[in-house]
Chains A and B, each alone.
Chain A
């Protein structure tokens, strides 16, 4: 099936298109490499990826400024990269290294780099919606032109914290942006078993007066443009904003899950909508030469390989440090250290 190219939006220029391509490809190649490591038994624990959702992660990440903050979930590696998290940092976390962002205390996508405005993911869906709203509240209180963004899947849309967070965002009119990752499944549960009205944009508008644009989440240009618009509206003081990005989770929930419950017809309908290939096709139609595209690809491949090499050379965590940092200011230790 021929690939459907990304939409040709004049508002998204050649430099931005290339930046998006680097990000979607970086997530793709990183995750392919990491999945291979997992299957070789070189990654402990579980493995989650965002195949089919890279455009949402990249588009949202690129729409943020350096001092904006974000709470990504576990299919948004490109968002981390857009915020300046390095490939080596991410691989260190997957490998459980002592100098990883979590110092080996958490694995795979369960990490963040607060110094770069990225909050560490927690597994409990919906928890980070109020947290994002609270960060946005801080910006509003201080009069700072900054934005906080998070992602919400269909599964999290059934969680109470999500709705409490959305309600607070509306009541407080804070600069928060919610990107709905409509990837069709919550683990194995299809949308029809998660919600009566599956049109999330309608519910956000009707329930919380939060404007929500619905876009094709496999199209990086469309996603970037919509999220950027939402982010800038929030930054300009128009209150919380949302974008519903419709896509399909191509892999299972995690590496142990082959996604056999995804109907073939649905899977086939996404065969011409691979986010990486769609953007490559757009760049070709834009007139990018084969050499240029090959150059972009090899640069990303080199970045992934080099980052992995750095991570593999990093030391493992030291078990004697396990109790360090439980508290920012430890007290009541016995024997007292003071």
Chain B
């Protein structure tokens, strides 16, 4: 398998007093390792090498090999082992090198981790961190947004941080959580997104969306990389649009979505996952069932076509939602 050679996301370093999205995740892991002896990290090349993207750099030296475990290349094996350790009350945090590789431990996640509490009352406090998303010329196996496979799976929680604050806060909240939590980090945001460091101990509540920007004329429901793109589109158009960052895509914060649509009467869903996967189907089903009477326009969706993520720059750029294409979609919705 072709792994770990994608360094194309490096941008200018964070300014003084700022940290990157990646730095926020690293800080969350470091703080969790310091605060709770039960926390340990496991994954491929996360020790001395610091992980394919460098998220865990320095943690082996700081905490030792009993807290930061390099594993063989066997996602089914070490995700299963993390489940077993969680059963025994540990707080394992797994790193998969790319979210695309979640296909291999899928069975452990869905069969064992997700169903054990409902079947037996045994909680499985497991975290799986996964770099997802495109824009890095990763192609079909290194740029996917597979969160939709887990949206709707009872027993799992699925979060997609879109800000520096939530990169820290959702990681901490996931590690605290007694249920299995899948964290889809966005690899293109790792070094691109910067902000003030969240206060140590900050938690972003799982299951709660965030209103990124208030507005009156339409609602955009989005998450992950869609948040910055949507804000860019709204600013470019200069329109009065509310932007809802789901943060947790499963279980959905239904109330936040419905409250915003009740106010604006128009909704666009923006996501990087292909149009028939991701969180869009669940959001649009909710809108159809619960917000029908509020709508002044058909609910709209802006998402890539139903194909794997293509490699060539011309293809990937055409595939991914951008500020421009999102602005177009928003204009159509507002003009209806």
Residues of A whose CB lies within 8 Å of any CB of B are 69, 101-102, 105-106, 110-114, 119-120, 122-124, 127-139, 141, 148, 160-161, 164-165, 167-168, 171-172, 325-336
Contacts and interface: CB of A to CB of B under 8 A. Distances in A.
Nearest to B79: A130
Contact of B81 (A134, A139, A329, A336): A134
A135 B120 contact: no
A136 B90 CA distance: 11
B336 to A, nearest CB: 27
Which 9 A/B pairs are nearest by Cβ-Cβ distance? A134-B84, A130-B80, A331-B207, A164-B77, A134-B81, A332-B207, A138-B88, A332-B251, A328-B123
B85 A137 contact: yes
Nearest to B253: A332
A334 B107 contact: no
B107 A124 contact: yes
A325 B77 CA distance: 27
Listed residue (A106, A165, A325, A326) with the most chain B CB atoms within 10 angstroms of its CB: A326
Contacts of A114: 87, 120-122
Contact of A130 (B108, B121, B251, B255): B108
B72 A171 contact: yes
A326 B118 contact: yes
A332 B72 contact: no
Nearest to A102: B119
Listed residue (B117, B119, B155, B205) with the most chain A CB atoms within 10 angstroms of its CB: B119
A135 B255 contact: no
A275 B33 CA distance: 50
B84 to A, nearest CB: 2
A170 B323 CA distance: 51
Nearest to A150: B84
A10 to B, nearest CB: 36
6 contacts: A101-B120, A113-B120, A134-B81, A141-B40, A171-B72, A327-B117
Given A164-B74, A168-B74, A331-B248, A124 B84 contact: no
A58 B252 CA distance: 46
Contacts of B82: 134
B207 A135 contact: no
B81 A112 contact: no
Interface in B57-86: 66, 69, 71-72, 74, 76-86
Contacts of A325: 117-118, 121
A128 B79 CA distance: 11
Interface in B38-59: 40
Interface size class of B (residues with CB under 8 A): 35 or more
Contact of A168 (B72, B154, B157): B72
B216 interface: no
Contact of B108 (A119, A161, A335): A161
Nearest to B114: A326
B80 A131 contact: yes
Nearest to A146: B88
A127 B108 contact: yes
Given A130-B76, A161-B108, 19 more contacts: A114-B120, A120-B116, A124-B107, A130-B80, A130-B108, A131-B84, A134-B83, A135-B87, A138-B84, A141-B66, A164-B80, A172-B69, A328-B117, A331-B157, A331-B206, A331-B248, A332-B207, A332-B248, A335-B255
Contacts of B78: 130, 164, 168
Listed residue (A124, A141, A328, A334) with the most chain B CB atoms within 10 angstroms of its CB: A328
B80 A165 contact: yes
Given A124-B107, A141-B66, A148-B84, A105 B251 contact: no
A221 to B, nearest CB: 30
Nearest to B124: A328
B254 interface: yes
Contacts of A336: 255
B147 interface: no
A138 B178 contact: no
Contacts of B157: 327, 331
Nearest to B176: A329
A120 B78 CA distance: 19
B2 interface: no
A192 B287 CA distance: 56
A116 B154 CA distance: 25
Contacts of B95: none
B281 to A, nearest CB: 17
A321 B210 CA distance: 31
A112 B87 CA distance: 12
Contacts of A331: 157, 205-208, 248, 251
Contacts of B108: 127, 130-131, 161
A69 B118 CA distance: 20
B128 to A, nearest CB: 13
A130 B84 contact: yes
B223 to A, nearest CB: 13
Interface string B173-191: 0000111000000000000
Nearest to A160: B76
A161 B85 contact: no
Nearest to A323: B154
B89 interface: yes
A334 B254 contact: yes
Interface in B109-160: 111-112, 115-123, 154-155, 157
A111 to B, nearest CB: 7
Contacts of B88: 69, 134-135, 138-139
Contacts of B111: 122-124, 127
A102 B119 CA distance: 5
A152 B151 CA distance: 32
